[in-house]
A and B are shown apart, each in its own frame.
Chain A
Amino acid sequence: MHKKIISILTVTALLFGATVMAHTIAKKGMRADLVLMPKFLGILVFDQANNGAQEAHKELGNPGKLEFLGPTPENSVAGQIEILTTATTQGQDGIMISNNAGDQIAPAAKAARAKGMTVVTWDSPIPSADGEQLFIAQVDFNETGMVMADMALNIIGPGGGEFAVLSATPDAANQNAWNASMKEHLKDPKYSKIKLVDLVYGDDQSEKSYNQALALVDKYPNLKLIMAPTTVGIAAAAKAMQDEGLCDQVKVSGLGLPAEMVSYTLNGCAPEFALWSFVDLGYLSYYATYMMATGQIEGVAGETFKAGRMGYYTIEKDPTRDKGLRVKMGPFSVYNKDNVEAASK
C-alpha cells in the first residue's frame, strides 16, 4: 500500500516535472540573426506576416537582425533556393520559409541544417519534410479541406450542383494538401450532391486566374461555384464573374482577404469565404524559430512553448506528412456579409 502511494507520487512528480520543463517560456534578449522568406515579394498577406514577425522581434529584444527577403515573382522557385543558400553561407542563425519550390528546396535546406542553421517553414511546408525541422501550420490542413467542402455545400445549397477549384501553382505544397483533403471530405455522403468537376491553376497571377475562371464557366455550363483557396485567385474570379454579369449564376468562394473581398461579398458574388490571421502566423513562426535558434527548445514532438500574446503551443507530428513535425495555429475565420465590413477595416 505504502509502496503504491510512493510510486503514484513518483509518477505524478515525474509527470509534473516533465510538464514544467517542457512549458518553455522564451528568454528575451538572446542573439539570433533570422530571415523571413515569403513565396515571393509583393503579396499583401506575406507583408502582414512580416509585420507579425517584426512585432515578435521587438518584443523579444533580439539584438540580432530580422530580414524579410524574398524572390521576385517570376523567379520564385530558383530565387527561394538561392536566398536559402546565401543565408547559409552568410551564417544566419535561422530561416523561416513559406515554401513555393516543392521538394526542390530540400537539398539546400539540408545543407543549411548541416551548417547548424535552424530551418522552419510556415504557410507552406517542404512536402517530404527533408531538411525542415518544424512547420508552423496556419490551420490544420485537413480542416482547410473540410472548411472548403462546407462552404461549397453551404453556397451551392441542398439541391446540389457542380463546382470547380481554381488553385495557385502546381508546386505549392499547401494548396495541394488542401485540395487533396477537400477531395477526401467530399467522399462523405453529406456532400454527395455537390460534384467537383475540375481543378485548374491560376499561378497566383490576376490575369491568368481571371481567364481561368471565365474558361471554367464556358466549359461547364451548369457550374454553380468556383472555389479558390488563394487570395489572388478568389479576387480575380470574383471580378471576372462581376464583369461578365454572371454573379447570379456562378458564385465564388475560397480563401480571401476581407479588404480585397468586401465589395464582392456585399454584392453577392462571393457570399462566403475564409482565412486566418497572417500577422499571427508571422508572430508565431518568429517565436518558434527564435527559441529553436537560441537553443531554448529543441524542436521535438511533445515540446510546449509560450508564444507571447498568443499563448501556449505544442509541437506534434504532422498528420498530413509522414516525417514532418508541426505547430498548429488556427483558427479559421469565416467571413460573410455580416462580418466582412468590420474585418476589412
Chain B
Amino acid sequence: MVKYLSQVRPEKQRELVLLLLILLVVIFFAMMIPNYLNARLFNRVSTSVAIMAVLAIGQTLVVLTRNIDLSVGSIVGFTAYFVGQQLSHNNEIEPMVAVLMAIGVGALMGGFNGILVAYCRVPAIIVTLGTMALFRTLLVEYSDAQTVLTVNLPQWLLDFPRLNVLSHGRLHLRFVVVIMLAVVVLFQLFLRFSSFGRKLYAIGSNPEAANNAGFPTQRIVLISFLLCGALAGLTGFLFLARFGNITVVAGIGFELKSVAAVVVGGVNIFGGSGSILGATLGAILIDLLENSLIRWLQISEFWRDALLGLLILTSVATDSIFMKRIRLYWAKRHAASTS
C-alpha cells in the first residue's frame, strides 16, 4: 500500500485523501442521522455544490498564480441581479443570451481586478477587497432598492433548476449539475494540457523565474482574473435560476466559501500547486458538511461557521506540514530513480 501510494503524485494523494474524507463524513452522518442516506441527499448536495464548485474553479485559477479574488461574492450578486433585472424587463431574451450576458458582465468585473493586479502592481488581496465593496455598492446603487421577483422572470428560468438530465427513481441528475461537470472537465483538461494552464502553475511556483523565462506574466495573471470573473458570472446565473428572488445581499459570504473550497481541496494558497478536481472535491466536502450539520441537532447555528474556519486552518496547516515533506520525499525518490 505504502509502496503503491509512493508511486502516486502528492497532489493525487491529496485528492484520494479528500475522497476518503467525504466517504467518512457520509458514513458518520449516516450513523448519526436517521434516514440520512437517500435520494434527496444526493439531489440536495449535488445541486447546491453545482453553484459553489463553478465559483471554486474560478478561484483556483487565481490562487494558482499566487493571487486571491475576494470580490467573487459581489460579482455573483451583481450578475445575478443584473441578468434577473434584464430578464424581468424583457421575457423574450433567449436563454443562451442570458447566460452569455452573465458571463460577460462577470468577465468585465474580473478583468478590472486583473488590470489592477497585473499592470498596476497592487496586491490582489487589496484590489479585490476594494472591489468586493465597490461591486456590492454598484449593485446597491443599480438596484435602487428593488428586488428581482420570481413572478417577473420567464418560465424557462423558473423551470431550469428542476430540469433533469437523467432520473432513476427519486434520484435526479439535474441539468445544473451537468453544467458543473462540464466546467470541471473542461478546466481540468485545460490546466493539464494547454500551455496557458502550465504557465499558470509556473507563475505561481516562482513568479520571478517565470518572468525571467520570458513568460508574459502580466497577461496571464490578467487572463486568470478574467476567467475567474467569467466563472463567477456563470455562478451568478445559476444563483439567479436557483433562488429567483434576488436582493442586494445575494452572494454575500461566497468569497470565503470559495476560498475554503479551494484550500480544503489542496490548492496551495501560495500558488503553484493544486487541481480543479481537488477544488471540486473541496467544495463537495464543505457543502456536505454544511448540509449535514444543519440537520444534526447537537450543533448550533453559530458553531457551523466556526467549523468552516477550523477546516480551512487545518487544511492549510496540514498542507504546510505534511504535504511539503511528502513532496520533498517524492522529488528525492524520483531524482534517485531517474539518475
Contacts and interface: CB of A to CB of B under 8 A. Distances in A.
**Do A and B form a real pair?**
yes
Nearest to B77: A73
Interface residues of B, number: 40
Interface in B152-181: 161-162
Main secondary structure of the interface of B (DSSP, over half): helix
Contacts of B140: 41-42, 72-73
B31 interface: no
B149 A259 contact: yes
Contact of B249 (A46, A73, A200): A73
A214 to B, nearest CB: 6
Contact of A74 (B161, B242, B249): B249
A206 B243 CA distance: 7
A244 B242 CA distance: 11
Nearest to A208: B253
A82 interface: no
Interface string A244-258: 110000000000000
Nearest to A75: B133
A72 B245 contact: no
A243 interface: yes
Given A72-B133, A235-B150, A42 B162 contact: no
Contacts of B43: 244
Interface in B240-254: 242-253
Interface stretch (A21-29, A109-117, A215-223, A331-339): A215-223
Most buried by B among A43, A206, A263: A206
A162 interface: no
B301 A201 contact: yes
B147 A210 contact: no
B239 to A, nearest CB: 7
A207 interface: yes
A219 B252 CA distance: 25
A43 B295 contact: no
A73 B252 contact: yes
Interface string A156-194: 000000000000001000000000000000000000000
Main secondary structure of the interface of A (DSSP, over half): helix
B44 interface: yes
Interface string B232-270: 000000010011111111111100000000000000000
Contact of B248 (A41, A218, A239, A260): A41
Nearest to B249: A73
Nearest to A212: B294
A34 B48 CA distance: 44
A212 B44 CA distance: 12
A245 B164 CA distance: 13
Interface string B40-84: 110110001000000000000000000000000000000000000
Give the 5 A-B residue pairs with the shortest CB-CB distance, closest first.
A42-B248, A47-B145, A215-B294, A73-B249, A206-B243
Interface of A: 40-44, 46-47, 50, 72-74, 170, 200-201, 203-207, 210-212, 214-215, 218-219, 221, 232, 235-236, 239, 243-245, 259-260, 262-263, 344
23 contacts: A41-B248, A42-B143, A42-B147, A43-B147, A44-B247, A47-B146, A73-B248, A73-B249, A200-B301, A205-B253, A206-B245, A206-B246, A206-B249, A211-B290, A211-B291, A211-B294, A218-B44, A239-B243, A243-B162, A244-B43, A260-B245, A263-B150, A344-B151
Given A218-B294, A232-B247, 12 more contacts: A41-B140, A43-B248, A47-B145, A72-B137, A73-B140, A204-B247, A205-B247, A205-B253, A207-B250, A211-B291, A215-B291, A239-B150
Interface of B: 35, 40-41, 43-44, 48, 133, 136-137, 139-140, 143-147, 149-151, 161-162, 239, 242-253, 290-291, 294-295, 297, 301
